[in-house]
Amino acid sequence: MKNYFIKNETYKLEVTDWEGKDPSLTPILFIPGMLGTAVSFKEEVETNWRDRRCVSLSFRGRGQSDAPDQGYQLANHVSDIVSVLNQLELLSGVILVAHSRGVPYALGFAAAHPRAVKALALLDHPPFHLPIEPEWAEKLCAQLRPGMPPEKVIRALQREADFRDLRGTLAGLTCPVLFVAGGQPGSMLSREDLVEFSQGIKSCVLHVEENSGHELETLPLRKLLNPLIN
């Protein structure tokens, strides 16, 4: 595992990179959720994906990435993904695995670079970039602890959360899509949501992880993705 930084304009982004044993396999970009970081998928990668290159990033304001005072709309997060994949020369083809708030970030990228996405795993979040209630920021700021984004970032994430409906992007994809919901309380998707949001997708696998909530602790991601990827 290597940790390094990539620039998006003037901002420095933290990247975690696992080389993998087989360079012929399509790389995976793991996209963390709202407060996740480049090491959020460390256990998943090192347990299940040592055969192929895997990359993850800390979006602006998270982890060791730079934390500007503003610039936290959907388009800003998509530009972080583009910067990482462009500078790593991975825009020719990558598998995206996105959890929670990372789902609209991944779909925003797919809307701009559909040919770059060879498969897509969307984990427990609807295909929307949703507004965030001020109470969310107030609650987090009242319990800040080491490893969390600074208060200015939390408040900017809430303030700049612009609504975007990304169902059209999802339905327009030609790559295989894995759509996952948790089956326990706390999940952001229901079984009915999976059926509704998968309408129009050319190649889609739906899965409910019965024993997990939003964090999908028991998800057999490798088993589910293997039939969809090379």
Check whether 222 has a pLDDT greater than 90. yes
Cα 177 to Cα 58, 118, 170, 193: the distances in Å are 24, 9, 9, 15
153 closest CA partner among 137, 170, 131, 171: 137
pLDDT at residue 230, as a whole number:
74
Strand duo 128-129 + 94-99: pairing = unpaired
Residue matched to tokens 């192929």: 52
Distance CA 189, CA 167 (A): 14
pTM greater than 0.85 (yes/no): yes
Q: Average per-residue pLDDT in the chain? A: 97
Task: Taking residues 96-125, report their average pLDDT.
Answer: 97
pLDDT at 51: 96
Residues forming beta bridges with residue 120, ordered by sequence position: 96, 177
Tell me the per-residue pLDDT of 143-159, one tens digit each, with 9 for 90 and over: 999 999 999 999 999 99
Count of beta carbons in the 10 Å neighbourhood of residue 66: 15
Query: E strand or H helix at 5, and its extent?
Result: strand 2-8
Which CATH number do you get for residue 181?
A: 3.40.50.1820
Q: Mean pLDDT throughout 201-227?
A: 97
Percent of the chain whose pLDDT exceeds 70: 100
Domain range holding 126? Answer: 2-228
Looking at the structure of the chain, the number of domains it has is: 1
* pLDDT value for 67: 98
Q: What is the DSSP string of 167-204?
A: HHHHHH--S-EEEEEESSTT-S--HHHHHHHTTT-SSE
pLDDT, tens digit (0-9, with 9 covering 90-100), for 14-49: 999 999 999 999 999 999 999 999 999 999 999 999
Q: Indicate the SS3 state at residue 75.
A: helix
- Identify the pLDDT of residue 159: 98
